[in-house]
Amino acid sequence: MKTLFPGKDAALQDTIERFQAQLTAHDFNLANIDNAAWHNPIPNVWSVQIQDADAPMNVTMGKGTSQDAALASALGKLIERLATNDFYANRYLGEAIATGEFVHYPNEKWFPIDLEENLPPEGILDERLTQFYDPTLELLGTDLIDLQSSNMARGICTLPFERQNDSEIINMPVNIIGNLYTSNGIAAGNSKAEARNHALCEIIERHIKNRILAKQTRLPAIPESVLSRFTSIKESIDALEAHGFDVQGYDASLGGQYPVVCVALSHQDSNIRLASFAAHTSIELALERAVTELVQDHNVDELKALMDPSTVGEAGNEHFTPESLLAESTGLIASAQLETESATELADWSFGGNSEEQFNHLMGLLHAEGADVYIADYDHLRVDCCRIIVPGWSEVAPVDDLIEANNNVALELREVLLALPAVEWDEEQFAEMFHIVEEEFDDDALLHRMLGLEALSGDAWQTLRVGELKCLIALAGGDLELALDFAKWSVAFNTSMYSAERMNFFRCLIDSLQLAIKEEQDPADCKADFESRFGSETVAAAWGSIEGSVQFYGLTAGNLTMSQFPAHQQLLQSYHKLQAAKKAKYC
């Protein structure tokens, strides 16, 4: 028997069959889907994680009220992240792609930069978007080079988006998309209208959630009489309450204006609640989404641990800050915000109609707020997908990040930073490199993210931060006291991230540096003790690093082909499949 959910333009079983068929047709390998990790902690709440077996870093989580609903959700998310290039948004795609026929899509446009003036060229954005993204006129042309191509010679890559209120086509820099929007506002669906509805609901949900939390708006509780109308939701809530949780639904529509709800979970005497916001034009489906989002990928004990006062402490709304969790639907929130009498009336809202009518309703809400909506549709995987940008609503990072924390910050240093483990420099050159790194980057920044590198799990590149790199540069340059300072920093900052092997090396390095700096004892007299504590191989690596025979321990040297990094090559091979699909569809 086929299942047709409200808000969906096809039965779940048909959606699953079609999505799987299109992924297979485009050579994406879901061989592991039969062994996927399923979670069903309470009735009517299912979640599943799936991944591309050939590029296992491409992974998504789906949720729903049944196994089919969760699988359809996971497949849809996998397709939307492929079709919108979201899986590759913060990865360097290599010289071959950067100089190829097209980097992102065949309809992209490139705008060369006059490097003497270094101003954003005419033809990108328009007057109102320039005012939004660059109100102080501080943006440089080079600030808008996208990380994926890093092609300074080619210039600024833009993608066409249609403004919905006047059908104007705007050239949106890929750099702005990657820095400010990530995955917010992308969706796949059984039809163009369905995909757009999903994306708009996500944007509205997260913006209204952030508005509520920022203004500490008190929300009216949804009474039992309303919740009891929805049998499957009530069954899930009853199951959670049987495990000792207090569960309450809240109307987050701000008086019926927006189709948003909140469901909050608390346990025992904790002053913290786990809150999930969700949006849909049907209040029932919004509540379903909030409950499944709240519990997905967790068992009951894990949910209790999330709200354990001993681990949460006095946390409150800082767990739901715009910078860290604007892109998330679920997080911890102070109970006090949900316990005070609400300033707004309960609105038992619901907006019906087919997908096209729901889309028009959501667009009406945004246009009534004076918001501009920009849409790019993609169907090269033979599934309707879209990316929607609503300036002022859908950003997941502050606009200031284009200047203060741009993801292309290491663009001009990528080649030398990748090559560092194999360079043959003198002390002066290493000292100059240390100075450059110190001036340009924050100590806690991860190198692989700055470089756009996909590193294997457990690889030293995966946990390498700027502070650790400064330690290794100082070591290579013979500045032992500086190296000791940053070795201590590395251990203190990376305790939870380092592998046991990496942590053992840095602890050994700290003790070895202290021994070398004091010069009060012959290291040979301590060698046996060091080897008994850290192991002979680790001691050899640490002492070799101090003596200069070992440089940048554990790091593989690379170049702009990225051929030295197996995980990155898996990602690039996956991207080549997408490029072929785009060329077949659009060219």
**Other beta carbons within 10 Å of 463:** 22
Cα separation, 444 vs 405, whole angstroms:
13
What is the per-residue pLDDT for 310?
55
Query: Residue 177 in contact with residue 160, Cβ under 8 Å?
Result: no
Yes or no: is domain 12-89 CATH 3.30.160.20?
yes
For every one of its 587 residues, what pLDDT tens digit does the chain have, with 9 covering 90 and above? 667 666 678 899 999 999 999 999 999 998 777 677 899 999 999 999 999 999 999 999 999 999 999 999 999 999 999 999 999 999 999 999 999 999 999 999 999 999 889 999 999 999 999 999 999 999 999 999 999 999 999 999 999 999 999 999 999 999 999 999 999 999 999 999 999 999 999 999 999 999 998 888 888 999 988 999 999 999 999 999 999 999 999 999 998 999 999 999 988 767 788 899 999 999 999 999 999 999 887 888 888 777 765 554 444 444 444 444 444 567 777 666 666 566 667 777 788 789 999 999 999 999 999 999 999 999 999 999 999 999 999 999 999 999 999 999 999 999 999 999 999 999 999 999 999 999 999 999 999 999 999 999 889 999 999 999 999 999 999 999 999 999 999 999 998 899 999 999 999 999 999 999 987 777 788 899 999 999 999 999 999 999 999 999 999 999 999 999 999 999 999 999 999 999 999 88
Name which of 328, 312, 82 is nearest 187 in CA terms.
82
φ and ψ at residue 229, rounded to 5 degrees: -70, -20
Can you read off the two tokens belonging to residue 240?
A: 């959670």
Domain regions of the chain by residue span: 12-89, 219-370, 413-451+453-569
Query: Residue 90 in contact with residue 147, Cβ under 8 Å?
Result: yes
Name which of 103, 340, 362, 173 is nearest 258 in CA terms.
362
Q: What is the 3-state secondary structure (H, E, C) of 116-163?
A: CCCCCCCCCCCHHHHHHHCCCCCCCHHHHCCCCCCCCCCCEEEEEEEE
Query: Residue 132 in contact with residue 334, Cβ under 8 Å?
Result: no
What is the per-residue pLDDT for 222?
92
Query: Residue 24 in contact with residue 16, Cβ under 8 Å?
Result: no
Cα 95 to chain centroid, rounded? 24
